[in-house]
Amino acid sequence: MRKKTVLITGGAGFIGSHMCEKLLAKDYRVICLDNFITGTLINVKPLLEDKNFQLVECNVASYIDIAGKIDYVLHCASLASPNDYLDYPIQTLKVGSLGTHNALGLAKQKKAVFLLFSTSEVYGDPLVHPQVESYWGHVNPIGVRGCYDESKRFAEAITMAYHRMHKLDTKIVRIFNTYGPRMRRNDGRVVPNLICQALNSKPLTIYGKGQQTRSFCYIDDLVDGLIRLMLAKENLPVNLGNPNEFTISQLSRLVLRLTNSKSKIAYKRLPLDDPKQRQPDISKARKCLGWEPVISLEEGLKRTISWFKK
Protein backbone atom coordinates (compact mmCIF):
# COMPACT_ATOMS: atom_id res chain seq x y z
CA MET A 1 0.00 0.00 0.00
CA ARG A 2 1.28 3.46 -0.93
CA LYS A 3 2.31 5.63 2.00
CA LYS A 4 0.37 8.89 2.35
CA THR A 5 2.53 11.92 1.57
CA VAL A 6 2.49 15.07 3.69
CA LEU A 7 4.13 18.28 2.50
CA ILE A 8 5.03 20.72 5.29
CA THR A 9 6.04 24.30 4.52
CA GLY A 10 8.34 25.72 7.18
CA GLY A 11 9.15 22.15 8.12
CA ALA A 12 12.60 22.95 9.53
CA GLY A 13 11.22 25.37 12.09
CA PHE A 14 10.23 24.74 15.71
CA ILE A 15 6.72 23.36 15.22
CA GLY A 16 7.31 22.15 11.66
CA SER A 17 10.26 19.92 12.57
CA HIS A 18 8.28 18.26 15.36
CA MET A 19 5.49 17.61 12.87
CA CYS A 20 7.95 16.07 10.40
CA GLU A 21 9.34 13.77 13.08
CA LYS A 22 5.95 12.67 14.39
CA LEU A 23 4.45 12.02 10.96
CA LEU A 24 7.46 9.92 9.92
CA ALA A 25 6.96 7.90 13.11
CA LYS A 26 3.35 7.39 12.05
CA ASP A 27 4.53 5.94 8.71
CA TYR A 28 3.83 8.90 6.44
CA ARG A 29 6.14 10.09 3.69
CA VAL A 30 7.16 13.68 4.48
CA ILE A 31 8.35 16.49 2.20
CA CYS A 32 9.80 19.40 4.15
CA LEU A 33 10.00 22.85 2.51
CA ASP A 34 11.99 25.66 4.12
CA ASN A 35 14.06 28.69 3.10
CA PHE A 36 15.86 28.71 6.50
CA ILE A 37 15.12 32.35 7.31
CA THR A 38 14.14 31.17 10.80
CA GLY A 39 14.19 27.38 10.47
CA THR A 40 17.46 25.49 10.76
CA LEU A 41 18.94 22.37 9.22
CA ILE A 42 19.87 21.11 12.69
CA ASN A 43 16.19 20.57 13.48
CA VAL A 44 15.72 18.05 10.67
CA LYS A 45 19.25 16.70 10.16
CA PRO A 46 18.51 13.41 11.98
CA LEU A 47 15.57 12.86 9.59
CA LEU A 48 17.71 13.03 6.44
CA GLU A 49 18.68 9.37 6.83
CA ASP A 50 15.03 8.31 6.60
CA LYS A 51 14.14 7.28 3.05
CA ASN A 52 10.62 8.62 3.58
CA PHE A 53 11.89 12.15 4.28
CA GLN A 54 12.70 14.73 1.61
CA LEU A 55 14.07 18.23 2.27
CA VAL A 56 13.53 20.94 -0.35
CA GLU A 57 14.96 24.43 0.08
CA CYS A 58 12.63 27.04 -1.37
CA ASN A 59 10.80 30.26 -0.58
CA VAL A 60 7.11 29.37 -0.63
CA ALA A 61 6.21 33.03 -1.16
CA SER A 62 7.89 32.79 -4.58
CA TYR A 63 6.88 29.34 -5.84
CA ILE A 64 6.13 25.75 -4.90
CA ASP A 65 6.85 23.11 -7.53
CA ILE A 66 6.76 19.53 -6.29
CA ALA A 67 6.29 16.47 -8.49
CA GLY A 68 4.29 13.41 -7.55
CA LYS A 69 1.30 12.60 -5.41
CA ILE A 70 0.66 14.69 -2.28
CA ASP A 71 -2.17 13.86 0.11
CA TYR A 72 -1.82 16.65 2.68
CA VAL A 73 -0.39 20.17 2.49
CA LEU A 74 0.42 21.65 5.90
CA HIS A 75 1.19 25.37 5.63
CA CYS A 76 3.37 25.97 8.68
CA ALA A 77 5.80 28.50 7.17
CA SER A 78 5.72 31.75 9.11
CA LEU A 79 7.84 34.27 10.98
CA ALA A 80 6.06 33.74 14.26
CA SER A 81 8.21 35.35 16.93
CA PRO A 82 8.17 39.11 17.69
CA ASN A 83 11.88 39.43 16.92
CA ASP A 84 11.36 37.90 13.50
CA TYR A 85 8.28 39.73 12.30
CA LEU A 86 9.58 43.07 13.59
CA ASP A 87 12.87 42.49 11.71
CA TYR A 88 11.18 41.06 8.60
CA PRO A 89 7.70 42.66 8.34
CA ILE A 90 7.45 42.44 4.55
CA GLN A 91 8.59 38.79 4.43
CA THR A 92 6.05 38.06 7.18
CA LEU A 93 3.26 39.55 5.08
CA LYS A 94 4.45 37.74 1.97
CA VAL A 95 4.57 34.26 3.53
CA GLY A 96 1.10 34.80 4.99
CA SER A 97 -0.37 36.05 1.71
CA LEU A 98 1.63 34.86 -1.31
CA GLY A 99 2.92 31.80 0.54
CA THR A 100 -0.58 30.76 1.56
CA HIS A 101 -1.86 31.36 -1.98
CA ASN A 102 0.90 29.17 -3.43
CA ALA A 103 0.35 26.43 -0.86
CA LEU A 104 -3.39 26.44 -1.55
CA GLY A 105 -2.70 26.29 -5.29
CA LEU A 106 -0.52 23.22 -4.76
CA ALA A 107 -3.21 21.56 -2.63
CA LYS A 108 -5.79 22.30 -5.33
CA GLN A 109 -3.52 20.91 -8.06
CA LYS A 110 -2.79 17.73 -6.07
CA LYS A 111 -6.36 17.37 -4.71
CA ALA A 112 -4.81 17.34 -1.25
CA VAL A 113 -6.18 18.22 2.17
CA PHE A 114 -4.92 21.65 3.26
CA LEU A 115 -4.16 22.65 6.86
CA LEU A 116 -3.33 26.27 7.67
CA PHE A 117 -1.29 26.92 10.81
CA SER A 118 -2.88 30.14 12.01
CA THR A 119 -2.48 31.80 15.40
CA SER A 120 -4.22 33.18 18.45
CA GLU A 121 -2.88 36.55 17.29
CA VAL A 122 -5.87 36.80 14.94
CA TYR A 123 -7.77 37.74 18.13
CA GLY A 124 -5.39 40.66 18.74
CA ASP A 125 -5.68 42.25 22.19
CA PRO A 126 -8.98 40.48 22.91
CA LEU A 127 -12.09 42.01 24.41
CA VAL A 128 -13.54 38.50 24.88
CA HIS A 129 -12.02 36.13 27.43
CA PRO A 130 -11.32 33.28 27.04
CA GLN A 131 -11.07 33.42 23.24
CA VAL A 132 -13.57 31.30 21.34
CA GLU A 133 -13.40 30.62 17.59
CA SER A 134 -16.52 32.69 16.89
CA TYR A 135 -14.80 35.86 18.19
CA TRP A 136 -13.64 38.14 15.35
CA GLY A 137 -10.83 39.81 17.23
CA HIS A 138 -9.55 43.25 18.24
CA VAL A 139 -6.54 43.95 16.01
CA ASN A 140 -4.60 47.09 15.08
CA PRO A 141 -3.93 46.53 11.35
CA ILE A 142 -1.33 49.32 11.10
CA GLY A 143 0.48 48.69 14.39
CA VAL A 144 3.93 47.14 14.69
CA ARG A 145 2.39 43.68 15.15
CA GLY A 146 -0.05 44.17 12.27
CA CYS A 147 2.28 42.52 9.74
CA TYR A 148 1.91 39.22 11.59
CA ASP A 149 -1.69 39.52 12.79
CA GLU A 150 -3.06 40.61 9.43
CA SER A 151 -0.99 38.13 7.43
CA LYS A 152 -2.67 35.34 9.39
CA ARG A 153 -6.12 36.91 9.13
CA PHE A 154 -5.65 37.15 5.34
CA ALA A 155 -4.38 33.55 5.27
CA GLU A 156 -7.56 32.40 7.00
CA ALA A 157 -9.71 34.41 4.57
CA ILE A 158 -8.09 33.01 1.42
CA THR A 159 -8.18 29.49 2.87
CA MET A 160 -11.94 29.75 3.39
CA ALA A 161 -12.32 31.25 -0.10
CA TYR A 162 -10.61 28.18 -1.61
CA HIS A 163 -12.83 25.96 0.50
CA ARG A 164 -16.01 27.67 -0.68
CA MET A 165 -15.08 28.35 -4.31
CA HIS A 166 -12.96 25.29 -5.18
CA LYS A 167 -14.48 22.83 -2.67
CA LEU A 168 -10.98 22.24 -1.30
CA ASP A 169 -10.89 20.27 1.95
CA THR A 170 -9.27 22.88 4.20
CA LYS A 171 -8.57 23.07 7.94
CA ILE A 172 -7.51 26.05 10.06
CA VAL A 173 -5.80 25.75 13.43
CA ARG A 174 -5.36 28.76 15.71
CA ILE A 175 -2.26 27.97 17.74
CA PHE A 176 -1.86 29.50 21.19
CA ASN A 177 1.52 29.98 22.91
CA THR A 178 3.52 26.80 22.38
CA TYR A 179 6.95 25.98 23.77
CA GLY A 180 9.46 23.15 23.96
CA PRO A 181 12.75 21.83 22.57
CA ARG A 182 14.10 23.39 19.34
CA MET A 183 12.99 26.92 20.13
CA ARG A 184 15.79 29.35 19.33
CA ARG A 185 17.69 31.17 22.09
CA ASN A 186 17.08 34.52 20.37
CA ASP A 187 13.50 33.64 19.48
CA GLY A 188 12.11 36.66 21.31
CA ARG A 189 9.30 34.66 22.89
CA VAL A 190 8.94 34.59 26.62
CA VAL A 191 9.74 30.94 27.46
CA PRO A 192 13.17 30.70 25.74
CA ASN A 193 13.98 34.25 26.86
CA LEU A 194 13.40 33.48 30.53
CA ILE A 195 15.04 30.04 30.44
CA CYS A 196 18.21 31.27 28.72
CA GLN A 197 18.46 34.29 31.02
CA ALA A 198 18.02 32.09 34.11
CA LEU A 199 20.55 29.49 32.95
CA ASN A 200 23.11 32.23 32.25
CA SER A 201 22.46 34.05 35.57
CA LYS A 202 21.23 37.14 33.75
CA PRO A 203 18.28 39.29 34.89
CA LEU A 204 14.92 37.92 33.73
CA THR A 205 13.23 40.43 31.44
CA ILE A 206 9.61 41.14 32.37
CA TYR A 207 7.61 43.62 30.31
CA GLY A 208 5.17 45.92 32.09
CA LYS A 209 4.34 44.64 35.57
CA GLY A 210 4.24 41.02 34.46
CA GLN A 211 0.49 40.76 34.98
CA GLN A 212 -0.32 40.02 31.34
CA THR A 213 -1.43 36.40 30.95
CA ARG A 214 -0.55 33.62 28.54
CA SER A 215 -1.56 29.96 28.23
CA PHE A 216 1.40 27.70 27.49
CA CYS A 217 1.01 24.46 25.52
CA TYR A 218 3.87 21.95 25.33
CA ILE A 219 4.89 21.01 21.79
CA ASP A 220 4.01 17.29 22.12
CA ASP A 221 0.43 18.15 23.06
CA LEU A 222 0.13 20.59 20.17
CA VAL A 223 1.46 18.11 17.59
CA ASP A 224 -1.05 15.51 18.76
CA GLY A 225 -3.87 18.02 18.23
CA LEU A 226 -2.54 19.08 14.83
CA ILE A 227 -2.49 15.52 13.51
CA ARG A 228 -6.00 14.92 14.82
CA LEU A 229 -7.20 18.06 13.03
CA MET A 230 -5.40 17.07 9.82
CA LEU A 231 -7.47 13.88 9.77
CA ALA A 232 -10.75 15.40 11.00
CA LYS A 233 -13.77 16.52 9.01
CA GLU A 234 -13.88 20.03 10.53
CA ASN A 235 -13.31 22.91 8.08
CA LEU A 236 -13.80 25.96 10.31
CA PRO A 237 -11.07 27.27 12.68
CA VAL A 238 -10.17 25.28 15.78
CA ASN A 239 -8.23 26.61 18.79
CA LEU A 240 -5.35 24.47 20.02
CA GLY A 241 -3.65 25.50 23.24
CA ASN A 242 -3.54 24.90 26.95
CA PRO A 243 -6.48 26.57 28.73
CA ASN A 244 -4.53 26.97 32.00
CA GLU A 245 -3.72 30.68 32.25
CA PHE A 246 -0.61 32.11 33.95
CA THR A 247 0.74 35.61 34.44
CA ILE A 248 4.23 36.26 33.13
CA SER A 249 5.29 36.89 36.74
CA GLN A 250 4.10 33.41 37.71
CA LEU A 251 5.99 31.93 34.76
CA SER A 252 9.20 33.73 35.71
CA ARG A 253 9.03 32.47 39.31
CA LEU A 254 8.52 28.92 38.07
CA VAL A 255 11.50 29.19 35.71
CA LEU A 256 13.68 30.50 38.54
CA ARG A 257 12.68 27.60 40.79
CA LEU A 258 13.19 24.90 38.14
CA THR A 259 16.60 26.26 37.10
CA ASN A 260 17.74 26.99 40.68
CA SER A 261 18.73 30.40 39.35
CA LYS A 262 19.53 33.42 41.52
CA SER A 263 18.73 35.84 38.69
CA LYS A 264 16.87 39.03 39.51
CA ILE A 265 13.89 40.47 37.63
CA ALA A 266 14.41 43.39 35.21
CA TYR A 267 11.21 45.26 34.36
CA LYS A 268 10.92 46.96 30.97
CA ARG A 269 8.26 48.97 29.17
CA LEU A 270 5.40 46.93 27.72
CA PRO A 271 5.70 46.59 23.91
CA LEU A 272 3.14 48.29 21.68
CA ASP A 273 -0.12 46.35 21.14
CA ASP A 274 1.03 43.54 23.43
CA PRO A 275 -2.07 41.47 24.35
CA LYS A 276 -3.07 41.72 28.00
CA GLN A 277 -4.75 38.31 28.08
CA ARG A 278 -4.45 35.11 26.15
CA GLN A 279 -6.46 31.98 26.98
CA PRO A 280 -8.03 29.54 24.52
CA ASP A 281 -11.50 28.14 24.78
CA ILE A 282 -10.84 24.57 23.61
CA SER A 283 -14.42 23.28 23.86
CA LYS A 284 -14.48 22.73 20.10
CA ALA A 285 -11.20 20.78 20.09
CA ARG A 286 -12.48 18.58 22.90
CA LYS A 287 -15.71 17.88 21.00
CA CYS A 288 -14.42 17.57 17.41
CA LEU A 289 -11.00 16.05 18.02
CA GLY A 290 -11.27 14.42 21.44
CA TRP A 291 -8.20 16.47 22.30
CA GLU A 292 -6.91 18.36 25.27
CA PRO A 293 -3.37 18.92 26.57
CA VAL A 294 -2.02 16.53 29.19
CA ILE A 295 1.46 17.91 29.96
CA SER A 296 1.57 20.42 32.81
CA LEU A 297 3.51 23.67 32.55
CA GLU A 298 5.98 22.49 35.20
CA GLU A 299 6.66 19.19 33.43
CA GLY A 300 6.95 20.87 30.03
CA LEU A 301 9.35 23.48 31.39
CA LYS A 302 11.52 20.76 32.96
CA ARG A 303 11.85 19.07 29.56
CA THR A 304 12.54 22.39 27.81
CA ILE A 305 15.11 23.50 30.38
CA SER A 306 16.88 20.14 30.03
CA TRP A 307 17.06 20.64 26.25
CA PHE A 308 18.44 24.18 26.57
CA LYS A 309 21.07 22.96 29.04
CA LYS A 310 22.35 20.57 26.38
Which carries the bigger pLDDT value, residue 188 or residue 287? Answer: 287
Confidence bin at 178 (pLDDT 50/70/90): very high
Residue 134, burial from CB neighbour count under 10 angstroms (0-12, 13-18, 19+)? exposed
29 phi and psi angles, rounded to 5 deg: -90, 135
- pLDDT by residue (tens digit) across 212-269? 889 999 999 999 999 999 999 999 999 999 999 999 999 999 999 999 999 898 888 8
**pLDDT at position 261:** 92
SS3 content of the chain, % helix, strand, coil (to 5): 40, 20, 40
Lowest-confidence range among 7-11, 207-211, 295-299?
A: 207-211
Determine contact, residues 116/155, Cβ cutoff 8 Å.
yes
Listed range (213-217, 272-276, 306-310) with the worst mean pLDDT = 272-276
> What does the alpha-carbon distance between residue 77 and residue 62 come to, in Å, rounded to a whole number?
13
What is the structure's pLDDT at 255? 95
In this structure, are residues 215 and 176 in contact, taking their beta carbons and an 8 Å threshold?
yes
Q: If you average pLDDT over every residue of the chain, what do you get? A: 94
Domain ranges of the chain: 5-180+217-243+279-294
Residue with the bigger pLDDT between 210 and 220: it is: 220
CA of residue 227 relative to chain centroid, distance = 14
pLDDT at 273 over 70: no
Which pLDDT does position 118 carry in this prediction? Answer: 98
Active-site pick, 72, 148, 162, 218:
148
Q: Are strands 53-57 and 238-240 parallel, antiparallel or unpaired?
A: unpaired
49 pLDDT exceeds 80? yes
Residue 131 has pLDDT above 80, yes or no: yes
Question: What's this model's pTM, rounded to 2 decimal places?
Answer: 0.95
Confidence at residue 185, expressed as pLDDT on a 0 to 100 scale: 86
Percent of the chain with pLDDT over 70: 99
Give the model's confidence band at 188: pLDDT under 50 very low, under 70 low, under 90 confident, else very high: confident
> Is domain 5-180+217-243+279-294 classified as CATH 3.90.1010.10?
no
pLDDT on residue 266: 87
Q: Helical H runs in 2-88?
A: 14-25, 41-44, 82-87
Q: Which of 120, 140, 96, 87 is nearest to 222 (CA)?
A: 120
- Rounded Cα distance, 277 and 96, in Å: 24
Instruction: Report residue 1's pLDDT band, with 50, 70 and 90 as the boundaries.
Output: confident
Q: Does the annotation count 148 as an active-site position?
A: yes
pLDDT digits (tens, 9 = 90+) for 71-95: 999 999 999 888 888 899 999 999 9
What is the C-alpha separation between 303 and 229, in angstroms, rounded? 25
Q: Is the pLDDT of residue 293 over 70?
A: yes
Per-residue confidence band for 294, with pLDDT thresholds at 50, 70 and 90: very high
Residue 278: per-residue pLDDT: 87
